[in-house]
């Protein structure tokens, strides 16, 4: 376990000399605001940290909500301010529900207890996640035990205030004192520790990377619905991908559960693993053709697998009926499967279903598929262009897809990438790893910071807007379980988190 030293600050710290602060800390967590108000020093502190190489792993928002709707409103205000400050989606947004939240509400005639604490925090965190950020909870030992009662704290990143030595509960961030002394700051300041797992020496398996990417993209669509028309962007992604399955352009009024799964695959560049279709039963046939279909209802699915339902299932034996609905497996604890589904009550939302539960039709899995005939018929040049465009995936999936042409195609791909990277004069050693299979052109999926080095502790070169095209020539540096790609964006070169890039 690696431990970093840091602080958390708000406007009460006043004028801060970050050039001195950086000599004593590794990171700083900043208060973004409270209610719908921005902290008066937030923008200034973000700039101070960025200019001096102080990592900002997260921000916190002090909740003063009187209802769940208020909590959602405050979360949206926080997100707006985070974007205004130029922070990317690689930060954590912490919900801060404290004693003063309860006291302030009481003055207004509203009594808040454990039920409200949990409900408000969950609403805040879910709103944050729907916007594509990682959510966290700040709390102390008292509220951990008596207000949260153990609920939610395992679901989100935990930041625990505990001033009595080591943390009493497992946490990622530990606020160790409210009376610290740091050069560059007048008066007392909160001090913190950030517990980080050591980076794995072996690369993350390619299939795990694909599964993470699929689920992260599915999560980013949570909340899209027919009522406000936000589901239309999902259907547009499907319709803009050619060729259309069976030549059919999906209407905004059509059922769109299979369209949602297809859109996720399109955005993740893995349509060779998850075939595109707008009909559940037709998608099953495509999975069967790929050798990725599991009929056994008792199969315990992996993250990223596609689960199909049949609402006419009697619950006796493996169902073989007509599939009515489909979703993407977010997680599986061995007993309960959590699924993200499009068109569930006219929105993208979650469902929980037991392993081997009633209504399960079967699974499209992320396992290895056999090479298809069209691959064997294509020329080497055509296959190289397809690989560079991301059509045949990465790692073992690409090997299986290309079959006996893999070595020849990959050799030509490597040759072209080498020539391209030399033309870009990418300095040797700028990144710690090279993987030709990830090379290609990507699209930024949301506002994303381009940094001088891998990780949020490096200076921001510029903020790239959603839709920006970048080129990766295969160079990257792993940070935890994520990869930071070294990319070329126009006239600039730098690192960005690959989770916000899509082929």
pLDDT over 60 at 285, yes or no: yes
Residue 244: CB atoms within 10 A of its CB come to: 15
Q: What is the pLDDT of residue 372?
A: 36
Picking from 115, 33, 133, 123, the residue whose alpha carbon sits closest to that of residue 71 is 123
Contact criterion met (CB below 8 Å) for 496 and 452 = no
Q: With 50 as the cut, is the pLDDT of residue 474 above it?
A: yes
206-364 folds as endopeptidase fold (from Nostoc punctiforme) (3.90.1720)
pLDDT at 203 over 60: no
CB contact set of 39 (below 8 Å; sequence gap of 6+):
10, 11, 30, 31, 32, 33, 45
Contact 377, 388 (CB under 8 A): no
Cα dihedral 74, 80, 82, 85 sign = negative
Q: Rounded to 5 degrees, what angle do the CA atoms 182, 183, 185 make?
A: 75
Check whether the bond before 449 is cis (ω within 30° of 0). no
CATH number of 424-503: 2.30.30.40
pLDDT at residue 428 in the model: 46
Q: Cα–Cα distances in Å, from 86 out to 28, 39, 80, 217, 469?
A: 16, 15, 10, 22, 19
pLDDT band at 206 (very low <50, low <70, confident <90, very high): very low
Residue pair 22/48 in contact (Cβ under 8 Å)? The answer is no
Q: What's residue 398's pLDDT?
A: 65
Identify which has the larger pLDDT, 290 or 304. Answer: 304
CA angle 73, 79, 83 (to 5 degrees): 145
Location of structure tokens 């028309």:
229
pLDDT at residue 391 above 60? no
Radius of gyration for the alpha carbons in the chain, expressed in angstroms and rounded:
24
CA-CA-CA-CA torsion sign (445, 131, 268, 136): positive
Q: What is the pLDDT of residue 17?
A: 93
* CA-closest candidate to residue 485, choices 232, 251, 84, 213: 213
For the domain made up of 2-196, give the CATH fold.
TIM Barrel (3.20.20)
Per-residue model confidence (pLDDT) at position 148: 92
| pLDDT value of residue 201 | 38
Stated as kind and residue range, the H or E segment containing 412 is: helix 406-423
Average pLDDT, rounded, for the chain: 85
CA–CA distance, 382 with 378 (Å, rounded to integer): 6
The answer, yes or no, to whether residue 205 has pLDDT greater than 70, is no
Contact 138, 94 (CB under 8 A): yes
CA distance 222 to 317: 32
pTM: 0.45
Contacts of 125 (CB under 8 A, 6+ apart): 75, 95, 135, 136, 137, 152, 155, 156
Contact 337, 355 (CB under 8 A): yes
Q: What values do phi and psi take at 172, rounded to 5?
A: -90, -40
| DSSP secondary structure, 374-395, as one string | HHHHS-HHHHHHHHHTTTT-SH
pLDDT tens for residues 11-56? 999 999 999 998 889 999 999 999 999 999 999 999 999 998 899 9
pLDDT tens, position by position, 233-255: 999 999 998 888 777 888 999 99
Provide the pLDDT for residue 393: 54
Structure tokens at 13: 């710290």
Q: Characterize the bridge pairing of strands 325-332 and 306-309.
A: antiparallel
> Strand, coil or helix: what is 333?
coil
SS3 of 362, please?
A: strand
In the chain, which segments carry CATH 2.30.30.40?
Answer: 424-503
Q: End-to-end distance of the chain based on CA atoms, in angstroms? A: 34
**Residue 45 has which token pair?**
């502190």
pLDDT of residue 366: 83
Cα separation, 362 vs 296, whole angstroms: 6
Element (H, E) at 274: none
> Which has the minimum average pLDDT: 109-118, 219-228, 460-469?
460-469
Which residues belong to CATH 3.20.20.80 in the chain?
Answer: 2-196
Q: DSSP class of residue 13?
A: G
- The Cα–Cα gap between 58 and 10 comes to 13
């Amino acid at each position: 376990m690696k431990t970093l030293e840091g602080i958390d600050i708000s406007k009460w710290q006043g004028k801060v000399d970050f050039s001195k602060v950086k000599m004593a800390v590794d990171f700083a967590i900043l208060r973004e605001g409270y209610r719908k108000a921005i902290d008066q020093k937030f923008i200034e502190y973000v700039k101070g940290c960025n200019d001096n190489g102080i990592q900002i792993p997260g921000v916190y928002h002090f909740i003063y909500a009187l209802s769940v709707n208020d909590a959602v409103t405050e979360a949206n205000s926080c997100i707006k301010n985070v974007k205004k400050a130029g922070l990317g989606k690689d930060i954590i947004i912490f919900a801060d529900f404290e004693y003063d939240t309860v006291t302030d509400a009481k003055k207004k005639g509203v009594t808040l207890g454990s039920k409200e604490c949990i409900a408000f925090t969950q609403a805040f965190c879910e709103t944050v996640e729907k916007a594509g950020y990682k959510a966290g909870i700040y709390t102390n030992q008292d509220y951990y035990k008596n207000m949260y009662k153990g609920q939610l704290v395992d679901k989100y990143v935990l930041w625990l205030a505990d001033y009595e030595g080591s943390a009493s509960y497992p946490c990622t961030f530990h606020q160790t004192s409210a009376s610290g002394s740091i050069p560059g700051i007048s008066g007392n300041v909160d001090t913190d520790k950030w517990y980080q797992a050591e980076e794995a020496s072996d690369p993350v398996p390619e299939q795990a990377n694909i599964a993470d990417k699929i689920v992260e993209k599915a999560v980013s669509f949570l909340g899209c619905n027919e009522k406000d028309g936000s589901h239309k962007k999902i259907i547009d992604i499907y319709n803009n991908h050619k060729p259309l399955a069976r030549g059919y352009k999906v209407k905004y009024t059509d059922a769109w559960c299979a369209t949602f799964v297809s859109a996720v695959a399109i955005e993740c560049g893995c349509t060779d693993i998850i075939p595109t279709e707008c009909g559940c039963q037709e998608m099953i046939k495509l999975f069967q053709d790929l050798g990725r279909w599991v009929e056994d209802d008792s199969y315990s699915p992996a993250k990223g697998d596609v689960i199909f339902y049949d609402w006419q299932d009697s619950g006796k034996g493996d169902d073989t009926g007509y599939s009515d609905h489909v979703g993407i497996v977010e997680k599986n604890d061995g007993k309960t499967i959590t699924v993200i589904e499009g068109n569930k009550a006219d929105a993208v939302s979650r469902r929980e279903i037991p392993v081997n539960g009633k209504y399960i039709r079967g699974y499209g899995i992320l396992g290895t598929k056999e090479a298809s005939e069209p691959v064997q018929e294509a020329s080497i040049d055509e296959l190289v262009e397809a690989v560079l465009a991301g059509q045949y995936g990465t790692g073992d999936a690409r090997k299986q897809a290309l079959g006996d042409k893999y070595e020849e195609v990959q050799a030509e791909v490597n040759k072209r990438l080498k020539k391209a990277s030399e033309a870009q004069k990418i300095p040797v050693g700028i990144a710690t790893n090279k993987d030709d299979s990830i090379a290609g052109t990507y699209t930024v999926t949301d506002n994303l910071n381009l940094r001088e080095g891998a990780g949020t502790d490096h200076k921001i070169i510029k903020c790239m807007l959603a839709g920006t095209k970048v080129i990766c020539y295969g160079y990257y540096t792993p940070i935890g379980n994520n990869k930071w790609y070294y990319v070329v964006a126009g006239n600039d070169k730098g690192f960005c988190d690959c989770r916000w890039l899509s082929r």
